Amino acid sequence: MSTSKYTTVSIPRSLYNRIKRLVEETGFKSVSDYVTYVLREVVAMHEAEKYEEPFSEQDLEEIKKRLKALGYI
Amino acid sequence: MGKRLFVLGLDAAPPSLLFDRFIDRLPNFRRLLEASVYGRLRSCDPPITVPAWMVMFTGRTPGELGIYGFRNRVDGEYNEFKIPSSRDVGYLKVWELLARSGYKSVVVGVPPTYPPKPLNGWMISGFLTPSIKSRFTYPPSLRDEVLSLVDNYVFDVVFRREDREAVYRELIDMTINRLKVIDYLVDTKPWDLFIYMEIGVDRVQHAFWKYFDEEHPRYTSHDLFGDAILNYYRLMDEWLGRLLNRLNDDTALLVVSDHGAKYMKGAFAINDWLIEKGYLSLRGDVEPGTRISEADVDWRRTYVWGWGGYYSRVFLNLEGRERMGIIGREEYPDFLRDLAREITSIRGPNGEEWRNRVYVPGDLYSRVNGNPPDLMVYFDDLYWRAAGTLGYDNYYLPENDTGPDDSVHDYHGIYIFKAGGLRVKGLYRDLSIYDVFPMIADYYGVSLDGVGGLRGSSFLGELT
Whether residues B195 and B286 share a domain: the answer is no
So what's the pLDDT on residue B160?
A: 73
Backbone angles phi and psi of B412, in degrees to 5:
-110, 125
Q: Which helix (H) or strand (E) holds B107?
A: strand B105-108
pLDDT digits (tens, 9 = 90+) for B310-353: 999 999 999 999 999 999 999 999 999 999 999 999 999 999 99
So what's the pLDDT on residue A53?
A: 86
So what's the pLDDT on residue A2?
A: 67
In a domain, A6, yes or no: no
C-alpha B243/C-alpha A19 separation (Å) is 35
Which residues are B213's β-sheet partners? Answer: none
In a domain, A36, yes or no: yes
Looking at residues B267-279, what average pLDDT do you find? 97
Report DSSP state, residue B386.
Answer: E
So what's the pLDDT on residue B53?
A: 98
Whether residues B441 and B362 share a domain: the answer is no
Domain span at residue A26 reads 13-69
Whether B118 contacts chain A with CB within 8 A:
yes
B72 neighbors B82 (Cβ within 8 angstroms): yes
Whether residues B238 and B342 share a domain: the answer is no
Whether residues B30 and B131 share a domain: the answer is yes
pLDDT digits (tens, 9 = 90+) for A26-55: 889 999 999 999 999 989 888 888 778 889
Whether residues B425 and B316 share a domain: the answer is no
So what's the pLDDT on residue B187?
A: 96
Q: Which residues contact B414 (CB under 8 A, 6 or more apart)?
A: B10, B13, B14, B15, B18, B19, B38, B39, B40, B41, B255, B256, B257, B260
Q: Does residue A72 carry a pLDDT above 90? A: no
- Give how far Cα B46 sits from Cα of B49, B373, B460, Å: 9, 12, 26
Whether residues B240 and B128 share a domain: the answer is yes
- CATH code at position B111: 3.40.720.10
Q: Does residue B1 carry a pLDDT above 60? A: no
C-alpha A72/C-alpha B437 separation (Å) is 28
Q: Which residues contact B103 (CB under 8 A, 6 or more apart)?
A: B2, B95, B120, B192, B193, B444, B446
pLDDT digits (tens, 9 = 90+) for B6-51: 999 999 999 999 999 999 999 999 999 999 999 999 999 999 999 9
Q: Does residue B141 carry a pLDDT above 70? A: yes
Q: Find chain A residues with C-beta within 8 A of B87's C-beta.
A: 50, 54
C-alpha A7/C-alpha B142 separation (Å) is 31
Amino acid at site B387: A
C-alpha B86/C-alpha B95 separation (Å) is 14
Whether B156 contacts chain A with CB within 8 A:
yes
Q: How far away is chain A from the Cα of B127, in angstroms, using its nearest Cα?
A: 9
Domain span at residue B337 reads 266-404
ipTM of the predicted structure?
0.77
Residue A54 to residue B85, Cβ atoms within 8 A: yes
Best A46, A52, A61, A70 residue to mutate vs chain B (most B CBs within 10 Å): A70
So what's the pLDDT on residue B94?
A: 98
Q: Which helix (H) or strand (E) holds A22?
A: helix A13-23
In a domain, A45, yes or no: yes
pLDDT digits (tens, 9 = 90+) for B426-436: 999 999 999 99
So what's the pLDDT on residue A1?
A: 60
Mean pLDDT (chain B, rounded): 95
Whether residues B249 and B270 share a domain: the answer is no
Give this prediction's pTM.
0.94
Q: Does residue A69 carry a pLDDT above 80? A: no
Please indicate whether residue B456 or residue A47 has the higher confidence score (pLDDT).
B456
Whether residues B398 and B415 share a domain: the answer is no
Which residues are B263's β-sheet partners? Answer: B407
Q: Among residues B358, B381, B404, which one ends one of the domains?
A: B404
Residue B158 to residue A73, Cβ atoms within 8 A: no
Provide the domain count of chain B.
2
Whether residues B60 and B42 share a domain: the answer is yes
In a domain, A55, yes or no: yes
- What's the first-to-final CA gap in chain B, in angstroms? 20
Q: Does residue B401 carry a pLDDT above 90? A: no
pLDDT digits (tens, 9 = 90+) for B184-209: 999 999 999 999 999 999 999 999 99
pLDDT digits (tens, 9 = 90+) for B154-182: 999 987 777 889 999 999 999 999 999 99
The b/e string for B192-222 (b: 16+ C-beta within 10 A; e otherwise) is: bbbbbbbbbbbbbbbbbbbbbbeebebeeee
In a domain, A48, yes or no: yes
Question: Which one of B85, B118, B400 has the shortest CB-CB distance to A71?
Answer: B400
Residue A62: pLDDT band by 50, 70, 90 thresholds?
confident
Neighbouring C-alpha atoms within 13 Å toward the C-beta of B333: 2
Whether residues B154 and B208 share a domain: the answer is yes
Q: How far away is chain B from the Cα of A47, in angstroms, using its nearest Cα?
A: 11
Q: Does residue B280 carry a pLDDT above 70? A: yes
So what's the pLDDT on residue B60?
A: 98
Residue A71 to residue B405, Cβ atoms within 8 A: yes
Please indicate whether residue B48 or residue B1 has the higher confidence score (pLDDT).
B48
Looking at residues B66-80, what average pLDDT do you find? 92
Whether B71 contacts chain A with CB within 8 A:
yes
Whether residues B434 and B308 share a domain: the answer is no
Q: Does residue B242 carry a pLDDT above 60? A: yes
B112: nearest CA partner in chain A: A54
Whether B402 contacts chain A with CB within 8 A:
yes
B48: nearest CA partner in chain A: A72
Whether residues B307 and B180 share a domain: the answer is no
Whether B160 contacts chain A with CB within 8 A:
yes
Looking at residues B62-90, what average pLDDT do you find? 93
Q: Find chain A residues with C-beta within 8 A of B131's C-beta.
A: 59, 62
CA nearest neighbour of B229 among B31, B410, B19, B21: B21
Residue A62 to residue B70, Cβ atoms within 8 A: no
Provide the domain count of chain A.
1
B158 neighbors B405 (Cβ within 8 angstroms): no
How many cross-chain Cβ pairs, A to B, lie less than 8 Å apart? Answer: 50
Backbone angles phi and psi of B314, in degrees to 5:
-110, 125
Whether B115 contacts chain A with CB within 8 A:
yes
Whether B289 contacts chain A with CB within 8 A:
no
Q: Find chain A residues with C-beta within 8 A of B161's C-beta.
A: 69
